[in-house]
């Protein structure tokens, strides 16, 4: 009787082993297929495009649209316009809509959106978020939201360092890394 049980167990083990081997092969084929799909898709991923670093300076002035005062802070809605000077001496126009906030401690905060319009018809829309000393240096981030022309599909972010030497006049230095699907020339052109 023991010999019969051994034969039955051996048959079950052999069947279970064949099933396990089939499952392993199927799993390995599935993993290989997924790996190939990821490798193929990765070639066309925007994340794989090279990031470019660009530096520019901004000069702008603003017109206050509205003001709301409170016990803690003053809120100022402003429209800003000006120009940027690229590293190679090229120019672009800027226009933005911002909310500036002043705190009783002398801190300044501004947030909003800026549009950069280049002579070739390309444009960039960016979101900014900055804070610092109202009469001194402010530091924050710029995040690229959208673009047209050579900046179509733009992604990236950077650092803004700005100063307001007179009320609503601003000087800023920006260093940013970005990639863009429509990009075919260097950032300073």
Residues 151, 180: contact at Cβ < 8 Å?
yes
Between 28 and 45, the more confident residue is 28
Surface-to-core class of residue 6, CB atoms within 10 Å of its CB (0-12 exposed, 13-18 middle, 19+ buried): exposed
For 108-147, letters b (16+ CB in 10 Å) and e give bbbebebbbbbeeebbbbbebebebebeeebebebebeeb
Predicted confidence band at 7 (pLDDT cuts at 50, 70, 90)? low
Segment 162-178 mean pLDDT = 88
The answer for 112, left when phi > 0, alpha when psi is -120 to 50, beta otherwise, is left
For 63-82, letters b (16+ CB in 10 Å) and e give eeeeeeeeeebeebebebeb
pTM for this predicted structure = 0.67
Output phi, psi for 25, to 5 deg. -65, -45
**pLDDT at 38 > cutoff 50:** no
Predicted confidence band at 45 (pLDDT cuts at 50, 70, 90)? very low
Compute the Cα dihedral for 38, 42, 47, 50 and give only its sign: positive
Between 43 and 168, the more confident residue is 168
Surface-to-core class of residue 97, CB atoms within 10 Å of its CB (0-12 exposed, 13-18 middle, 19+ buried): middle
Between 119 and 15, the more confident residue is 119
**pLDDT at 42 > cutoff 50:** no
């Amino acid at each position: 009787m023991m010999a019969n049980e051994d034969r039955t167990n051996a048959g079950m083990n052999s069947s279970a082993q064949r099933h396990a081997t089939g499952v392993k092969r199927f799993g390995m084929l599935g993993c290989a297929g997924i790996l190939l799909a990821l490798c193929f898709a990765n070639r066309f991923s925007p994340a794989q495009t090279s990031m470019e670093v660009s530096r520019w300076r901004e000069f702008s002035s603003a017109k206050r649209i509205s003001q709301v005062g409170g016990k803690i802070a003053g809120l100022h809605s402003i429209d800003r316009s000006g120009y940027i000077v690229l590293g190679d001496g090229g120019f672009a126009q800027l226009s933005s809509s911002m909310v500036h906030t002043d705190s009783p401690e002398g801190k300044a905060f501004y947030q909003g959106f800026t549009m950069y319009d280049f002579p070739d018809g390309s444009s960039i829309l960016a979101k900014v978020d900055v804070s610092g000393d109202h009469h001194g240096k402010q530091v924050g981030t710029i995040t690229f939201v959208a673009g047209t022309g050579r900046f179509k599909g733009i992604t990236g972010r950077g650092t803004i360092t700005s100063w307001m030497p007179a009320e609503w006049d601003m000087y800023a230095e920006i260093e940013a890394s970005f990639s863009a699907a429509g990009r075919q020339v260097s950032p300073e052109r």
